Amino acid sequence: MSVIDTIKEQIESNAILLYMKGTPRFPQCGFSSKSSEALMACGEKFAFVNILENQEIRSELPKYANWPTFPQLWINGELVGGCDIICELAESGELDTLVKAAAEADDSAASE
């Protein structure tokens, strides 16, 4: 499987996915830390990929996403954005709405 296929599969199989440096419990950069904190505050489970452990994803994802930086938040297969956008959405309450809707839809699909 190619790196792009792996990325597509990760995005398609996770309703809420954060590509970040480190993990939510041990972020390895300030932007990843802020982003994962904003997501965790929504109270829903989310998947993450530590791009520091996978150099190929780290180099290919920005080209695939047409987004040069990390973290990257994907909800329902759509790129939401990076740290600044995640934090703006969190402040306005939109992130909570987006995340809860995606988690609810994912739970419904899983129970069918």
Which one-letter DSSP state was computed for residue 53?
G
**87 known member of a binding site:** no
**58 known member of a binding site:** yes
**29 known member of a binding site:** yes
Q: How far apart are CA 106 and CA 5, in angstroms?
A: 21
**21 known member of a binding site:** yes
What dihedral do alpha carbons 86, 90, 96, 99 form, nearest 10°? 10
Task: List binding-site positions for glutathione.
Answer: 21, 58, 70, 83-84
Task: List binding-site positions for [2Fe-2S] cluster.
Answer: 29
Task: List binding-site positions.
Answer: 21, 29, 58, 70, 83-84
